[in-house]
Structure 1
Amino acid sequence: MDTSIVGVGVGITDRFRSVVEEKATRIEHLCPRAQTLDVKVTHRSYRNGRMEDEAVELTLTHKGPVVRAEAVDGDKFAALEKAVDKMAEQLRRAKEKRVDNRNHPRGAKFEKGSGALQGIDVQPASVDVIRAVATGSIPVVADGEEAPYSPVVIREKQFDAEWMTVEDAVDRMELVGHDFFLFIDARTDHPSVVYRRKGWDYGVISLATAAQPQAVAS
């Protein structure tokens, strides 16, 4: 696996290069088909230089989708350690899912002999429900009454807005086991959603309008 290191506003010492090479062996062990590992170190200053930190971005190219991880710390060695831990966790979860999918294939299976569907929970709707959906006459249920079964169910949930990077949103989505995750992009302030595509690829959709942080009541 080839390793490249780029510094933006910060010098790359021989000691840092040696640590990167050491950490690269851990990544290569988890991803034997890894081709390149790109390391970008950026020195960032805030509030007229009175606050500084180092951001380390890792980009791994291999036979599958590109894997990225990023971490920030006052020390670039600590930021590197955090970023490697994030990438290692992503690779470990991906490997476990591949093994699980091989051992327990998901999705419906059609039994030719019986004509039944196996591996999926399908409950046929009644004729009355189908007719109600087709005519738009789904009954309104008063408070305290039990709602009849309907294949059309709309559930509403509200969450507090969270600012994070796209990479962190992907990690959070994988952590909670969902196929998508809503967040506010910390780089653009745009409401966004990351989602899982085919295989181990991901996508992101963002609104053009920036979100405004909520005012904190005093």
Structure 2
Amino acid sequence: MEIVVVGRHTEVPERFRRHVEEKLAKLEQLAPTAQRIDVEITHENNPRLADVRERVELTVRAKGPVVRAEAAADDRFGALDLATTKLAERLRRSRDRRKDHRKNAVQPPVDVRPFDPDRDAPAPEPEAPTHPATPGEAVESQMGDSPVVIREKLHSAATMSVDDAVYEMELVGHDFFLFVDAETHRPSVAYRRRGWSYGVIALDTSCAGD
């Protein structure tokens, strides 16, 4: 299993890279088919955010749904510990679900707990944008002369049921999840509402104008 460590707005010392590899190697038994784990370290320079100045995002890429977890703390070692704990819980959930599918058993309710990921929000298209060329690739661009930075990412259009979409949304810790509804064949988004409730918004492409 390959472990790729990158830093955003920060240098990642070799000592910390070795610590990451040793810690994540213990998760291989929970994800035996994992091909790679991407580790992204982000440093926040704002002194008002000193308590969460180090953010660690972990993404497991394997055959099947992507599993992701992230956490922030005042140091990157603490953030890594928190993110690894979340990731282990989601990997166990994914493993248990696969076992249930193999047994053709009735699926138990999804273990839903609130998360607070710092995700991208829809924004006006920047002037002369540079679009990502491949799924999973993120491209950042500045909107005109303003200080606003737009981060754009291309996703594959996966066809699945609403139940599977909610399940995969929980695995990556997002507040929303894009998919193609297997029943209606419409581009849709599942999103988290208050409490333990979810919503789904679908696009009716048949009424799109020229």
Give the structure-2-normalised TM-score: 0.53
C-alpha deviations, 1:98-154, integer Å up to 9, x for none? 2233335239xxxxxxxxxxxxxxxxxxxxxxxxxxxxxxxxxxxxxxxxxxxxxxx
The verdict on how the C-alpha distance between 1:74 and 1:174 changes in structure 2, with shifts beyond 3 A counting, is farther
- What corresponds to 2:111 in structure 1? 175
Identity fraction in percent: 39
CA-based RMSD: 3.3
Q: Which has the higher contact order (CA 8 A, sep 6+)?
A: 2
1:137 paired residue number: none
- In structure 1, the residue matched to 2:49 is 51
CA contact 1:8–1:43 (8 Å) conserved in 2 = yes
What is the distance in 2 between the residues matched to 1:76 and 1:21? 14
Q: Specify the code of the residue in structure 2 equivalent to 1:84.
A: T
Instruction: State how many pairs are aligned.
Output: 132
Larger Rg, first or second structure (1 or 2): 1
**Closer, same or farther in 2 for the Cα pair 1:12/1:184, shift >3 Å?**
closer
Q: Deviations over 1:169-205 (max 9, x none)?
A: xxxx94338xxx9x99854578xxxx64369644243
Matched, 1:40 2:40: yes
Query: Which segments of 5 or more consecutive residues in structure 1 lack a partner in the other structure?
Result: 108-172, 208-218
Counterparts of 1:185 and 1:29, CA distance in 2: 26
Distance 1:63 1:184, change over 3 A: closer
Distance in 1 of aligned mates of 2:27 and 2:34 = 8
1:197 aligns with 2:164: yes
User: Are residues 83 and 63 of structure 1, via their aligned partners in 2, closer, same or farther at CA, if it must alter by over 3 Å?
Assistant: same
User: Is 1:31 aligned with 2:31?
Assistant: yes
Q: Matches of residues 27-106 of structure 1 in structure 2 within 5 Å?
A: 27-46=27-46, 49-52=47-50, 53-103=53-103, 105-106=105-106
Amino acid at match of 1:66: V
Offset at 1:94? 1.4
Aligned AA for 2:73? D
Amino acid at match of 2:15: R
- Where 1:175 maps in the other structure, the secondary structure is coil
Whole-angstrom distance in 2 between the partners of 1:15 and 1:185 = 27
2:56–2:76 CA contact under 8 A, matched in 1: yes
Report the Cα offset of residue 206 of structure 1.
Answer: 7.8
